[in-house]
Amino acid sequence: MHKEDFSRLCHTLSSDKNNALSEAVLSVVKDHQNIKNKKKLPVVWLETNDSGDNNIAFMNTTYPYLGRVFEEMIDLLYSNTFMAAEGRDALNILDQVLNIYKGKFTLVVEGAIPIKDQGLYNIIARTKTRSITALEAVTRLGEPAEHVVAIGTCASFGGPSAARPNLTGSVGVRDVLDREVINVSGCPVNPDWFVGTLAHLLMYGKPELDQLGRPTLFYGFTIHRHCQRRSYFDQGDFAEKLGDIECMFSLGCIGPRTGADCPYRQWINHVSWPVKVNTPCIGCTNEDFPDGSTPFFTPMPEKNKKQGDQNSPAPGVDQV
Ligand code: SF4
């Protein structure tokens, strides 16, 4: 399959599971591997300062299922969350990865990186002689990696881990590495966004990114553009309370300045998303989430006034 056809597959507006990022992706990956005689994508996954929601979201991938992602798409070499090995055995694997896969592996980071006090607020491994901070692990592995992927909004931009008052000094991966980071933001990420990005890396290399480093395949348009309530917005028909069927801009919806394909990708095996179940978009893929989204359920102009910022559209997305 050509790269353009793969992009079309990811971009499809259909909610038909057979046409969404789906089982079709796996057969494309399989064909690609056969034709190019390529191996799976070698991945090192570090979980740092987060709630663990992104690995749970990843495990909920349904098209393709998780087992098939592991069997046919990625070779998970090291993961302080998923692997069975622990202690010195686990760290030995990490050393082997650095020797054997230097320049060939993809580093996935899930979570923000605390940098205050030399990063001691997030220890990812401990030996008899020392503790390894997330800051040390990410900087050590980030440089020799072929690609670095930040999964979730904490890893991408700091997210809830860096929210006021940010006592740990948490930042996104891009702030501790002097290199390009592919940001697959979301709180949590939609499994399609992450699995689709890995599929693109495996078959075609780096996907096209927006100005926030996010794949345009999934973040290229605002929520607002494809929202099912858009006609109400255009007519100036706004909800007065949760549960009303009209546009929820009046209730604090941030869809107009949030880039993501939730209205047609949808969640939970592609069946629903916030606006469909009567709750406004809170902008979880944005660079300034959550501080830029609060107070929740407050209309944007008022929200901005409360934050002392009259014009704060999130960068990286069109405003319609
Ligand atoms: S403001 Fe929110 S609810 Fe209204 S159309 Fe836009 S995304 Fe949909």
Q: Does residue 47 share a domain with residue 96?
A: yes
Confidence of residue 311 (pLDDT cuts 50, 70, 90): very low
Q: Are 139 and 80 in contact (CB under 8 A)?
A: no
Confidence of residue 29 (pLDDT cuts 50, 70, 90): low
Q: Give the end of a domain, one of 199, 218, 237.
A: 218
C-alpha neighbours within 13 Å on the C-beta side of residue 120: 3
Distance 13 CA to ligand 1 centre (A): 17
Residue 53 inside a domain? The answer is yes
Q: Residue 171: what are its φ and ψ, rounded to 5°?
A: -140, 170
pLDDT digits (tens, 9 = 90+) for 107-146: 999 999 999 999 999 999 888 888 999 999 999 999 999 9
Pocket flag, ligand 1, residue 256 (CB < 6 Å): yes
Distance 277 CA to ligand 1 centre (A): 13
What is the model's pLDDT at position 129? 86
Secondary structure of the chain: what % helix, strand, coil (to 5)? Answer: 40, 15, 45
Q: Where are the alpha helices (DSSP H) in the chain?
A: 3-11, 23-36, 53-59, 66-68, 87-100, 134-142, 153-157, 191-204, 216-219, 223-226, 230-235, 262-265, 300-306
Is the predicted pLDDT of residue 318 greater than 70, yes or no?
no
Distance 279 CA to ligand 1 centre (A): 10
SS3 at position 272: strand
Distance 249 CA to ligand 1 centre (A): 6
Residue 34 inside a domain? The answer is yes
Please give the structure tokens belonging to residue 78: 């090291």
Q: Does residue 146 share a domain with residue 290?
A: no
What is the mean pLDDT of the segment spanning 97-105? 95
Residues of the chain with pLDDT > 70, as a percent, come to 85
DSSP state of 187: S
Angle between helices 3-11 and 191-204 (to 10 degrees): 180
pLDDT digits (tens, 9 = 90+) for 256-297: 999 999 999 999 889 999 999 999 999 999 999 999 999 999
Q: Does residue 286 share a domain with residue 157?
A: no
Pocket flag, ligand 1, residue 252 (CB < 6 Å): no
Pocket flag, ligand 1, residue 78 (CB < 6 Å): no
Please report, for the domain that includes residue 39, its CATH number: 3.40.50.700
Determine the Cα–Cα distance for residues 292 and 89; give it in Å rounded to an integer: 42
Pocket flag, ligand 1, residue 227 (CB < 6 Å): yes
Q: How many H-runs (helices) and E-runs (strands) does the chain carry? A: 13, 9
pLDDT digits (tens, 9 = 90+) for 63-79: 899 999 999 999 999 99
Domain count of the fold of the chain: 2
Q: Are 242 and 251 in contact (CB under 8 A)?
A: yes
pLDDT digits (tens, 9 = 90+) for 3-22: 777 777 766 644 555 545 65
Distance 291 CA to ligand 1 centre (A): 20
> Hunting for tokens 């495990």 — which residue is that?
59
Integer angstrom CA distances of residue 85 from 88, 92, 95, 100? 9, 10, 14, 19
Please report the atom of ligand 1 found closest to the CA of residue 223: 7
pLDDT digits (tens, 9 = 90+) for 160-185: 999 999 999 999 999 999 999 999 99
Domain that holds residue 114: 3-218
Please report, for the domain that includes residue 253, its CATH number: 4.10.480.10
Distance 5 CA to ligand 1 centre (A): 30
Q: What element of type H or E holds 76?
A: strand 74-79
Pocket flag, ligand 1, residue 257 (CB < 6 Å): no
Q: Give the end of a domain, one of 191, 218, 245.
A: 218
DSSP string, 113-146: EE-GGGGTT-EEEE-SS-EEEHHHHHHHHHTT-S
What is the model's pLDDT at position 127? 82
Residue 316 inside a domain? The answer is no
pTM of the shown model:
0.88
Q: Give the end of a domain, one of 165, 197, 218.
A: 218
Q: Does residue 102 share a domain with residue 17?
A: yes
Q: Does residue 121 share a domain with residue 188?
A: yes
Pocket flag, ligand 1, residue 253 (CB < 6 Å): yes
Pairing type for strands 170-171 and 74-79 reads unpaired
Ligand 1 binding pocket mutation candidate from 225, 248, 286 (most atoms within 8 A of CB): 248
Pocket flag, ligand 1, residue 24 (CB < 6 Å): no
